[in-house]
Structure 1
Amino acid sequence: MGIFQHLCVEDHEEGSGPLLAEAGSIESSPAASGRPEPREFFLSPKKNLALSLVLLFASYSALLVPAYLPVQHPIWSDGSTDEDVLKHSAAMLARTCNSGWAVARLKKMPGFRSLLEIPVFLQNATGGWDLAPPLGLQGSEEMLAHTLSALPLSGLPFSPDRCRRCIVVGSGGILRGKHLGDHIDKYDIIIRMNNAPVFGFEKDAGSRTTIRLVYPEGAPILNQEYHNTEIIALVVFKRLDLEWLLSVVTNEPLSWWSKLWFWKNVVNEIPLPPGNFRITNPEILNRTWHLLLTYNKQQRKTVPTLGLIGVVLALQLCDEVSLAGFGYDLQQPGARLHYYEALRMDTMMSQVVHDVTTESSLLQELVKARVLHDLTGVL
């Protein structure tokens, strides 16, 4: 044995393997290191594929299955029970209609007088528009004239001689479970917006519709939603909306190029005769928008919701105006946004098109002044 700086090396017999080879084989031995061989650690290609499919299925299930499970949405209100709401609504209907009630009170509110005496529907194309859609129809006069020529009627379908009650039915989740449907159907004029359904929701939302305000992307898809409907009133946000209405009334399909410019698929047919269609006067939207600007110190560039437009329209038509399903409680992000679907309140927080906070404050002031009656009690 030879010793050199503490390194000990034994002399081997002739014919034996080299020492370094033996050391290497000892270190790499699975038994000595305690590690499995690579072929024992990795799965076979078939097992690897099966595991991948299982993990993929599990991931999709975790994402998709909860969307189809029942979700308990928080209920929000002013503390009134459903029975209280029904009693209040019944008492409103039992009273004699007060002629000129809403207008008389609105006249006492200087900031709101601009919302009075606005023609509801367009009857001719000579409006002298100074603004482009949606606040006017500048640049769309020719298309407006063409569309109006296809509408045999442009006035109101009811007589203004007697005292009338309007109800504007909003889409708010607060309407769900209130069982106001029978009460809503008793009003003289029932105004709804866009695709808020009545089919399947008659118990809460009623079954009749006097005026349904729509823009093309929001018009109901199901034909049964147009049953018991007197008027479909277009709210024009762009020139193309007039082309859509003309197409629906004349049954002449829009070109594929025109359809590309809608932000959502639109219906091609509505099962109502031409006499049931109208064009809402943009002056309603224009004056409502200016009121919101003066009401909101921040001067946000937003447009009024169809719900608020429906309220202003109702003030032109009726002596008494009631609301049902209005109000957004943004303090409860998990509450149901609409009565007919499972969207949550926080969805409204993310949108920038409408200033719902300012609109709610405006409506609350009108309710406080008793210009409007809030049946569902959130405003």
Structure 2
Amino acid sequence: MSILRLRRIRNLTLLFCVITFTMILFSYSLWDPSLLFSKHALHPKRPCSCRHCLTDLDDDPWNADHFNRSIHPLMTRENSVLSEETFKWWQSLQSGMKPANYSEVVEELFQVIPDEVLYMDARPERCRTCSVVGNSGNLKGSEYGDLIDSSKFIFRMNMAPTSGFEEDVGTRTTHHFLYPESAIDLDNNTRLVLIPYKTLDLQWLISALTTGTIKHTYLPVVPRIKANRDKVLIYNPTFFKYVYDSWLEGHGRYPSTGFLSLVLALHICDEVSVFGFGADQSGSWHHYWENNNMKHTGVHDGDYEHNITMLLVEKHKIKMFHGT
């Protein structure tokens, strides 16, 4: 065989390989031509389209010991049935009140609020960015407002105001985590996420959205709240116990609102940024809208929660913004 013929065969083979590779790449990119020359085009099985995906490191043994993605964070009729162990633990968190029939309350609850499964839409083309905004005084003067508002989901908690603090904490809120004793009015576009500590908390929510008859739990509570009942969500007690057992390994009496919000974000978001956690630079503990120092409650193990949070930073699961 002549040298010229060998060269022709080699060139044709090379051309065939190039055409074949280009066609495969192009067919993958048809649904989004911008991906044709993206670094993600060569990795079609990435769990999300963000630069860093939370589930990228799920093969880490530490993650395997802590994450249980089979437990959905939010309650529905279907997952509302609690194991005996979970029910006893959950009811013991704020004991002293005779509980109503739990299953009957749940049935009434889902006649008032939607019964739907949300946030199960993880896919390679999704990039759900989330900001979990705590209430620490380290937000004062931080000028994080625009950065916080740039996320798709923005979680706030308890009595956190934005009016007057927009430059530091932003203006948008997509999910507001609260319990009866910390309840505030919300705008029509914000999802109320109730963290229930007892059956009475579910009853209070029903009342607060309808008749306004419940005015006292173990403390006086607001009888009515402004909130879009079509957007109300319930933190799943089974998920609540999972956070306590798997993430905190039984430290403290139960997790803080901030830590509960953070772990929920880890389960439904692709990228998580954390603001307003911890003390300020001088070591003081206070809310960003107050000047007085706070007393730490004995029901939470703040040090253990902080250590787990910083380990998540070290493992590149979250990005922490420390403020001032």
TM class by shorter chain equals: 0.7 to 0.9
For residues 366 and 149 of structure 1, what CA distance do their matches in structure 2 show?
38
Partner of 1:254: 213
Deviations 1:199-218 (A, max 9, x none): 22111111111111110001
Preserved CA contact (<8 Å) 2:176 2:191: yes
Q: Give yes or no for contact 2:313–2:320 (8 Å, CA) kept in 1.
A: yes
Match for residue 133 of structure 2? 169
Task: For 2:271 and 2:204, locate their aligned partners in 1 and report how far apart those are by CA, in whole Å.
Answer: 33
Name the structure 2 match of 1:344.
293
| Residue 207 of structure 1: aligned partner | 171
In 2, the alpha carbon distance for the partners of 1:311 and 1:172 equals: 15
Which residue pairs with 2:235 in the alignment?
Answer: 280
Conserved 8 A contact 2:91-2:199: no
1:234 corresponds to 2:234:
no
The amino acid across from 2:166 in the alignment is E
Give the aligned residue type for 2:213. L
Structure-2 change in CA distance of 1:199 and 1:279 (3 Å)? same
- The structure whose Rg is larger is 1
The aligned counterpart of 1:15 is: none
* Structure 1 unmatched ranges of 5 or more: 1-95
Q: Deviations over 1:215-246 (max 9, x none)?
A: 000112xx4xx236421011110111011110
2:88, 2:108 → 1: CA distance? 17
> Relative to structure 1, is the Cα distance of residues 247 and 163 closer, same or farther in structure 2, using a 3 angstrom cutoff?
same
Deviation at 1:374, TM superposition (A): 0.3
Secondary structure at 1:191's aligned position in 2?
A: strand
Distance, in Å, in 2 between the alignment partners of 1:273 and 1:181 is: 25
What is the aligned partner in structure 1 of residue 55 from structure 2?
A: 103
Cα offset for 1:327? 1.7
The answer to whether the aligner puts 1:219 opposite 2:177 as a matched pair is no
Letter in 2 for 1:303: Y
2:190 match: secondary structure? strand
- Tell me the CA shift for residue 121 of structure 1: 1.6
C-alpha distance in 2 between matches for 1:199 and 1:129: 42
> Distance between the aligned counterparts of 2:262 and 2:208, measured in 1?
26
Provide Cα deviations, 1:279-316, integer angstroms capped at 9, x if missing partner: 1112221111113553xxxx554110010111111011
After superposition, the CA RMSD in angstroms is 2.9
1:122 to 75, 84, 87: 75
Match of 1:309 in 2: 260
Aligned to 2:104: 142
1:20 aligned residue: none
**What is the 5 A alignment of 1:1-379?**
98=50, 101-110=53-62, 113-117=65-69, 118-124=71-77, 126-130=80-84, 131-132=86-87, 135=90, 140-156=102-118, 162-220=126-184, 223=185, 226-227=186-187, 229-249=189-209, 251-255=210-214, 259-263=215-219, 265-294=220-249, 300-328=251-279, 332=283, 335-345=284-294, 347-348=295-296, 351-376=297-322
Q: Is the 8 A contact 1:165 1:319 kept in 2?
A: yes
Q: Secondary structure at the match of 2:54?
A: helix
Shift of 1:275: 0.2
Return the TM-score normalized by structure 1: 0.63
The TM-score with structure 2 as length reference comes to: 0.73
Report % sequence identity. 30
| Counterpart Cα distance in 2 of 1:281 and 1:136 | 13
Amino acid at match of 2:208: V
Q: C-alpha distance in 2, partners of 1:176/1:205?
A: 8
Q: Distance in 2 between matches of 1:322 and 1:311?
A: 9
